[in-house]
Amino acid sequence: MHSAYAYLRISTEDQSNFSLEAQEEIIRKYAASHQFQIVKTYTDDGVSAKNFNRPAWKRLEVDLSKSKREIRAVIVAKYDRLIRNAAEGLALLERFEMKLEVQIISAGENFYVDPNSPFYFKIRADMLVNGDFERRVIADRTKMGIWQAKRQGRYLTTAPFGYRNARDASNKPIIVLLPEKAAIVRELFENVAGGMDWKQAGKLARQAGFSNKGKDAIRRTLTNIVYIGLVNVPAYGRESASQIQGIHEPIISTETFYQVQVMITGKPQPKQELREEFPLRGVVRCESCNRPLTAAFSTGKMKKKYGYYCCNRCKGQIHNAERANETIIEILRKLSLPAEQILAVREESERQMEQRLQIRVHNAERLRIEIIDLETKIEQLEEKFVTDKIEEITYRKLYQKWQRDLTGKRVEYEQATTDERQYWEFFYKNLEKLSDLAGIYCAANLENKQRILRLVFDNTLQLTHTGYRTQSLNPILGSDSLKINKLEITETQKKRESLNDSPSGAQSGTRTRTALSSYRILSPACLPFHHLGKKSFEFKSSKLKLLLDFLTRHS
């Protein structure tokens, strides 16, 4: 009879349903039939297998070093319980079996092959590679899921102060404003933007109810782009990291946010270093690394100065400033909405406003009844569980499902009962501002020019050697953007715009009256885009409202 250790492992991300109890049973049956005595069992519960930095495994190695070669084997249920990193797994087998003379045995993978045979090494190596491959697939699937969700504008982690985590009607994660806490955040930013020391503003915020802990909590809040409606999207595959417009409601304006950044850093940001010749400095980004471009002058052979935009990191990213400035004006001119289109959109939206309001009242009443019904069902379920009329597993399953449904219904009800009339009035009054974006841009000062570009292109404008590239346009301006030669649209925006193509009756890129009349307003959180059949596309109202509000105040 030989002495052996048993090692069990399961992780929180494990999808094999290979429980610790099942592993232990497999190991003990193998030990009993192969003359091994399990003298100690080591268990890592909820620990990943990407390396050996695990508490129980570390104790096993320490105890093994003290055993004076009395332990002849370490038995696992499967090799992927041991490690899912092929390189580290092979190195461990070499160290244990060749130097320590301790066999690593997989109880659930009995190969019936001589352990001294080279085929035995090959089979185990394949097992480790397969485990490593599965780990990488799971990691990539998780990373892709996070990337896709953030590309949709979703904030996935714990909601920052001023918001709460919730689920939408599709049971997908969103963050929703908490009005009282949002007011504290807004006041904090406004105090700092008004000249108050940010530490003093933080003390006032804490007195008002700011509850985040830590000495850097105030500074982290003041530098968090979530509060202006943006979401950080990580790099994935060939896609570089970026910032996109989120689907949540912003608490403060972009102007206030960047003004605060200047106040808390004590030095002006690159975007504040403005010159008439370089209105795009700090706004447009490098097509290679997505960093904001800087600008400078160079002197030609005739001692004439030429302006250019460039990236401080990437070689070859140098662009003629005069040509880039002229191109962006031309793009804005083509993005502007024709007068007849604005008139048609306004007429159609006016007709639909009352209809939409009536539908919202009906939906609100329906949602109210459904919420009461779910609350009643949850109360009855809890009563049955307390009185032992249902089992715990049934209770947990139904409670979690109904609670998710209830959260989604409450979010829908909150949206359905929001007063829309103020939005409609603002929309009708200021829509004509979108008819001359190029003219408003040219007449604006440098700071306002940059603000217009950020609102039009959602902070994703890149300068290329053939023109410009953007991941996302302000949605009301996107219907004809694919026809602009020097504006490249990424796949995400193309998919959006595919829902907004002109009907087949439109003549050579111009919109007929029939095409214009097919525009419709779906809700105050939607913009006026015509639909094809039953297809329609919704956009968050904050993007349009921010743009219209800015153009109204500064044009």
pLDDT tens for each residue of 238-268: 777 778 888 888 998 887 888 888 777 765 4
More confident call, 534 vs 24: 24
pLDDT tens digits for range 156-192: 888 999 999 998 877 888 899 998 999 999 999 988 8
On whether both 215 and 142 belong to a single domain, the answer is no
What pTM was estimated for this model as a whole? 0.42
- Whole-angstrom Cα distance, residue 481 to residue 237? 26
**What is the separation of C-alpha 271 from the centre of its chain, rounded to a whole number of angstroms?**
25
> Does any domain span residue 533?
no
- Structural domain count, the chain: 2
On whether both 34 and 143 belong to a single domain, the answer is yes
- Whole-angstrom Cα distance, residue 136 to residue 134? 5
**pLDDT exceeds cutoff 60 at 432:** yes
* 244 half-sphere exposure, CB direction, 13 A CA radius: 26
On whether both 123 and 20 belong to a single domain, the answer is yes
- Whole-angstrom Cα distance, residue 128 to residue 123? 9
**Sign for the pseudo-dihedral over CA of 76, 79, 83, 84:** negative
Confidence of residue 271 (pLDDT cuts 50, 70, 90): very low
pLDDT tens digits for range 304-330: 888 999 988 888 889 999 999 999 999
- Core vs surface per residue 40-71: b (16+ CB within 10 A) or e: ebbbbeebbbeebebeebeebeeebeebeeeb
What tokens does 502 get? 């002109």
- Whole-angstrom Cα distance, residue 525 to residue 420? 9
For residue 268, what are the CA distances in angstroms to 197, 216, 272?
16, 21, 6
On whether both 142 and 171 belong to a single domain, the answer is no
Return all residues near 332 (Cβ < 8 A) that are at least 6 apart.
437, 438, 441, 452, 456
**pLDDT exceeds cutoff 80 at 297:** yes
Whole domain around residue 226: which residue ranges? 163-267
On whether both 135 and 173 belong to a single domain, the answer is no
On whether both 124 and 199 belong to a single domain, the answer is no
Domain at 227, CATH number? 3.90.1750.20
pLDDT-wise least confident of 96-100, 188-192, 225-229: 96-100
pLDDT at 385: 80
Residue 290 three-state SS: coil
CA nearest to 463, candidates 490, 491, 492, 486: 486
Asked which of 224, 245, 267 is the last residue of a domain, the reply is 267
How many helices (H) does the chain have, and how many strands (E)?
Answer: 18, 17
